[in-house]
Every structure is written in structure tokens, then in C-alpha cells.
């Protein structure tokens, strides 16, 4: 009998979470219904505790009737785990296998989808600068979270992270001194303005927004792992439509297109680093 009560409680909780996500989508247009349930549930319960609410119904009521509260908690629903030159072998492979191909194009368009606070965007800018690709490239950095986009545009990061970032840069094949790309402040560093000149920061939601230009390369790392399989297929489909013929796609170390319904539209350039190229079909 006790087990049945627990099962019923879990079932009711799942229903309430589904209703909450539906309410957020209908009221504000943000669609978290396809996010992995464990991830979104942790976020919801965390915000419920912070707001000192006793149940999900109270949280739903507050979200629906208090717009300020919703936009205050919205950033916690996004994924903002990143660092400069994260997974250095990924950038080393780009440097050796992909950039030499892109350099042959008269113009290069790169989309960093789900760019978070911008560390990986600036990593790409550094890589391109060191490879002599500066005049004919445009980088589009997008996220649905306005707060992290603003931080990305500022390009200011904790000085405590610089030792790790420098190590990553060196392992990624950096050909200069990482210190040349930032200015030290009291407890932070500011990315050099020269790295920003080819970057456009823009609001874009992978779940609800449409095709984003004709890109030569799309970088979307460690975002898909928080989506359900259905939503992963949807987003990869968006990338297929946003890539030009023979365009490149770079995913996170724990992500793959191998089991995606669009897998047949790509060839693997470096499976271990999760770099793929769109086929012409």
C-alpha cells in the first residue's frame, strides 16, 4: 500500500511538471517540454525551494501571474557550463582538419549555437586569428538567455580561471601567448577587443526559432545532452537546414549524431572529437 502511494505521488508530480512546462510555453513562448526530464526537474525544484513554495501548483501560479518572477528564474533553466578551449583536442582537430578547408572559401560564416557566456566563441576567434582567418569571417553567437549573452558580449571572466584556460589553449595548439588575448583587471580579465570585431551576438532559441542562415560551420557543444531524443532530432534537423553543402558540424564530447534520424546526411570527420560534415544529397 505504501509503495502504491509513492508511485501515485511520483505520477502526480510528473503530471504537475508537464502542466508547468506547458504553462510556460503558452504564456511566455519558452519551450522546455523537450528538455531531459531529470535536468529540468532539478531546476524546477531548486527554484521552488528558493522561492519558499510548498508545491508545484504554487510555483505555476507565481510564474503565470508574476512576469518579473519568471524572467528572474529563467536563466536557471538554461545550460551555462563552458570554458575557453574546452576539450582541447576538439580545437586541435579544427586547426588541423577543418580550418585549412574553410580558408579556401571567399567568405566564412560560423554559428555558435547555445554560446552561453562566450568562452568557446572567443576560443574560435583566437584560433581563426592564429590561422590567418580574420578578414573574410563572420561568427554568429546565439543563446536564448539574455543574461549570458550580455556577459558574452562583455567578455569579462574571473582571473581565477586563467591558469586552466592557458593550459587548454596550449594543449589546443596555441601558437602564441594566451596572455596576448586579454587584459588583466583586479579580479578578472577582459578579452581583447580585436577578437570581437567579427562576432555578432544575437538572441536565438534552438527549440522554437527557425533556420539560421547558410553556415559553413555550426558549433553546438554540450547542449543536446540536455534534450530528449525527439528534440535532439529536431535541432539536428535545424542544423542540416542551416548548413551550406559540405558544411561542418561540431558537437560536444558526449554527443553524437550516430543514432539521429539525420545521421545519413553527414560523414564523420573526427568521430572522437564529434566533428561531422554535411553530405551533398
- pLDDT score of 11: 77
Q: What is the pLDDT of residues 10-44, one digit of tens each?
A: 678 888 888 988 898 888 888 888 787 888 888 88
Provide the angle, in degrees to the nearest 10, between the axes of the packed helices 56-65 and 37-50.
80
Q: What is the three-state SS of the chain?
A: CHHHHHHHHHHHHHHHHHHHHHHHHHHHCCCCCCECHHHHHHHHHHHHHHCCCCCHHHHHHHHHHCHHHHHHHHHHHCCCCCCCCCCHHHHHHHHHHHHHHHCCCCCEEEEEECCCCCHHHHHHHHHHHHCCCCCCEEEEEEECCHHHHHHHHHCEEEHHHHHHHHHHHHHCCCCCCHHHHEEECCCEEEECHHHHCCEEEEECCCCCCCCCCCEEEEEECCCHHHECHHHHHHHHHHHHHHEEEEEEEEECCCCCCCCCCCHHHEEEEECCCCEEEECCC
My answer on whether 48 and 180 are in the same domain is: no
Looking at residue 250, what is its pLDDT? 97
- 54 lies in the same domain as 96: no
**What does the pLDDT average to over 166-192?**
95
Spatial separation of the C-alpha atoms in residues 32 and 25, rounded to whole Å:
7
Is 98 domain-assigned?
A: yes
User: Is the residue at 83 inside a domain?
Assistant: no
> Is residue 194 domain-shared with residue 157, that is, in the same domain?
yes
Would you say residue 1 has pLDDT above 60?
A: no
- Please tell me the predicted confidence (pLDDT) of residue 113: 95
Q: Which of 8-17, 113-122, 172-181, 214-223 has the lowest mean pLDDT?
A: 8-17
Specify whether 116 is located in the same domain as 58. Answer: no
What is the pLDDT at residue 7? 65
State the residue range of the domain holding 38.
Answer: 2-77
Q: Please say which residue of 77, 111, 137 terminates a domain.
A: 77
Tell me: do 236 and 266 sit in the same domain.
yes
On average, the pLDDT of the chain sits at 90
Of the listed ranges 73-87, 157-171, 173-187, 254-268, the one predicted with least confidence: 73-87
Q: What per-residue confidence (pLDDT) applies to 244?
A: 95
Tell whether 73 is covered by a domain. Answer: yes
Question: Which of 77, 102, 124 finishes a domain?
Answer: 77
Summarised one tens digit per residue, pLDDT across range 112-147 is 999 999 999 999 999 999 999 988 999 999 998 888
Q: State residue 2's pLDDT score.
A: 55
Count of other CB atoms within 10 angstroms of residue 208: 11
Total structural domains within the chain: 2
User: Looking at per-residue confidence, does 207 or 155 come out higher?
Assistant: 155
Residue 32 lies in a domain: yes
Indicate if the pLDDT at residue 243 is higher than 90: yes
For residue range 72-103, what is the model confidence (pLDDT) as tens digits? 888 777 766 789 999 999 999 999 999 999 99
CATH code of the domain containing 109? 3.40.50.150
Q: What is the pLDDT of residue 82?
A: 84
Same domain for 203 and 129 = yes
> Which of 77, 112, 140 corresponds to the end of one domain?
77
What is the pLDDT confidence band of residue 215, given thresholds at 50, 70 and 90?
very high
Do 192 and 104 belong together in one domain? yes
Residue 172 forms part of a structural domain: yes
pLDDT higher than threshold 80 for residue 251: yes
Whether 57 shows a pLDDT value over 60: the answer reads yes
Q: Which CA distances in Å does 32 have to 57, 74, 128, 153, 238?
A: 17, 11, 34, 25, 17
CA–CA gap between residue 206 and residue 24 (Å, rounded):
16
Q: Is the CB of residue 122 less than 8 Å from the CB of residue 172?
A: no
Range 159-169 average pLDDT: 95
Amino acid at each position: 500500500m505504501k509503495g502504491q502511494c509513492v508511485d501515485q505521488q511520483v505520477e502526480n508530480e510528473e503530471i504537475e511538471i508537464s502542466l508547468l512546462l506547458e504553462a510556460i510555453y503558452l504564456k511566455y513562448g519558452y519551450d522546455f517540454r523537450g528538455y531531459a526530464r531529470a535536468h529540468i526537474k532539478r531546476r524546477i525544484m531548486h527554484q521552488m525551494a528558493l522561492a519558499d513554495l510548498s508545491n508545484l501548483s504554487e510555483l505555476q501560479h507565481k510564474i503565470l501571474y508574476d512576469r518579473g518572477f519568471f524572467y528572474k528564474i529563467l536563466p536557471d533553466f538554461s545550460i551555462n557550463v563552458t570554458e575557453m578551449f574546452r576539450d582541447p583536442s576538439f580545437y586541435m582537430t579544427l586547426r588541423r582538419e577543418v580550418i585549412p578547408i574553410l580558408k579556401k572559401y571567399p567568405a566564412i560564416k560560423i554559428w555558435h549555437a547555445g554560446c552561453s557566456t562566450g568562452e568557446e566563441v572567443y576560443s574560435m576567434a583566437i584560433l581563426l586569428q592564429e590561422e590567418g582567418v580574420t578578414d573574410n569571417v563572420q561568427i554568429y553567437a546565439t543563446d536564448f538567455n539574455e543574461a549570458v549573452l550580455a556577459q558574452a558580449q562583455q567578455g569579462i571572466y574571473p582571473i581565477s580561471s586563467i591558469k586552466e584556460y592557458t593550459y587548454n589553449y596550449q594543449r589546443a595548439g596555441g601558437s602564441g601567448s594566451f596572455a596576448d588575448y586579454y587584459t588583466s583587471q583586479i579580479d578578472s580579465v577582459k578579452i581583447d577587443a580585436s577578437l570581437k570585431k567579427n562576432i555578432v551576438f544575437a538572441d536565438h532559441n534552438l527549440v522554437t526559432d527557425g533556420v539560421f542562415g547558410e553556415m559553413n560551420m555550426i558549433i553546438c557543444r554540450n547542449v543536446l545532452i540536455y534534450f530528449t531524443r525527439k528534440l535532439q532530432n529536431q535541432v539536428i534537423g535545424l542544423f542540416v537546414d542551416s548548413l551550406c553543402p559540405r558544411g561542418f558540424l561540431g558537437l560536444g564530447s558526449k554527443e553524437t549524431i550516430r543514432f539521429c534520424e539525420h545521421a545519413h546526411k553527414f560523414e564523420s570527420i573526427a568521430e572522437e572529437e564529434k566533428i561531422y560534415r554535411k553530405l551533398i544529397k
